[in-house]
Amino acid sequence: MASVLVIGSGLAGLFAAVRAADAGHTVTLVTKGALAESNTSHAQGGIAASLFPDDSPNAHLLDTLRAGAGRSDPAAAQVLCDAGPARVRDLIRFGAHFDRDESGLARGLEAAHVRARVLHAGGDATGAEIERAMLDALGRRPITVREQTMLVELLTETIDDEAAALPSGADAAPRVVGAELALPDGGRQRVLADVVVLATGGAGQLFLHTTNPAIATGDGVAAAWRAGASLADLEFVQFHPTALAVPGTPLVSEAVRGEGAVLRNRSGERFMLGRHPEAELAPRDVVAREIAREMAAQGGEPVLLDATALAEDPAANRAMLAARFPTITAACEASGHDWALSPVPVTPAAHYWMGGIATDLWGRTSLPGLFAVGEAACTGVHGANRLASNSLLEAAVFAERAVQALTADAASARTPAQPPVSGDEPRRAATDARTDGGSSAALRTTVQTLMWNAAGLERDGATLEAAAEALAALPRPSTTPGASRREIEDANLLDLARLLVAAASARTESVGAHFRSDFPAADGTGTIATTREDALAC
């Protein structure tokens, strides 16, 4: 068996840790915040799977491929849809309580699905319920947990030709052997392990407006890139069409439109009817861009989401919304809106990164010893645009497969597994260590503003080129011992911003979530950024 270091405590990380412990591995889980702090806990919409008699994995597959705008890896999408029902049953076995009705499990319809196949928990608190269940499962297993502990860099060693069985003359390959961690007291520690599983989530904090929590700074993707891992599809960022246009931009789930809510401009016109055959239930990239255009036409003023007619009278509507969407109802009330009686202002916001660390169908990256799962990974499932409620499913499906693969790899390893050990003693931060300050806040705001304006819902070559020059001129914060968590995060964000802008510049076509106003056709004739398959072949 192997020593496994899992970094991240959302569904992907928790599922990998639990299943690795069940397989007999020695598991350490590290998370930079509190254990329950993750993107998963904020997920509202639900988890999609073909669990019902009128549905099938192939129907789910077709929806997934259609939403992916022809850029999904069909094999990866097939794996997701075939294995999805079993992984949802695992979540139920681990204690997740999904909403039920008189027929059994309740299910909802979301955008770009042809079947109602989305399970919810607590109405719009699906992620929080799944996180709770997985934390309970984690607590029942012999897993070492280290909170408030941040990934700084991956540790690598060179594999010689004989040990790696490389062809004669081939370059020696680096193998990931652990990670350098920033400790809660500001010190550093090098932790060695046979396998590192990155489950650090996405990087919504790259953008000025995001539905992601503050922890979503792409730490694992940035560290993997610096270690030499291949990345793919970085230009594909999904902007959720409907975030409440109030401070904090809380998410307003796709499921609200699935229940019948509609979008209106300030004149009260339901503008999506003339923009796409599926109107408000069109793919996310379409709805988000049309909202952005409508906002531009009305001087930047948010559009309105109208959920006032989902029940027969106002009282029934208020009761239904409170029961079905308690989290959103609370967010509306906190911002002074009664969405049962009046439409609420919404705006697009960065939501999910389809790109990330390129993996095969088993979570393996281009670096031996390194796996990636969840939003940090680019499995190829989502292509250019993720289908609603496929993210939680992907996290569980590919975390399970990663554990299967690392278990098989450990069984065939030439050397016995080593326990997780510290490569050196913890080093305390210097007494003059820098702390978060105004300059750090200014840097992040500068990066987020550049990214929102240049690499947001609509892009063009000239603006991207100017953004690349501006990002290149920004000083990268130091991440040496003594650096604050904020500085390490900002260094990661700057690295990723530069990479994302380069990828968006290279793809001279419009497809899915990547829209180039100077190349509006998705004809595939332009220069295409590195594909996931090319990345893995590097």
Instruction: Give the catalytic positions in this structure.
Output: 284
Task: Identify the H or E element spanning 128.
Answer: helix 126-139
> What values do phi and psi take at 244, rounded to 5?
-60, 125
Report the C-alpha gap between 428 and 307 in whole angstroms: 54
Q: Which residue type does 37 have?
A: E
CA 235 and chain centroid, separation: 14
Structure tokens at 100: 């039920």
| 154-184 core/surface letters (b: 16 or more CB in 10 A; e: else) | bbbeebeeeeeeeeeeeeebbbbbbbbbbbe
Q: How far is CA 199 from CA 6, 103, 287, in A?
A: 7, 35, 29
Report the C-alpha gap between 152 and 492 in whole angstroms: 9
Cβ atoms of 48 and 393 within 8 Å: the answer is yes
Q: What angle is formed at CA 41 by the lines to CA 335 and CA 243, rounded to 5 degrees?
A: 35
Cβ-based neighbours of 16, under 8 Å, separated by 6 or more: 4, 6, 197, 199, 371, 373, 399, 402, 403
CA 294 and chain centroid, separation: 27
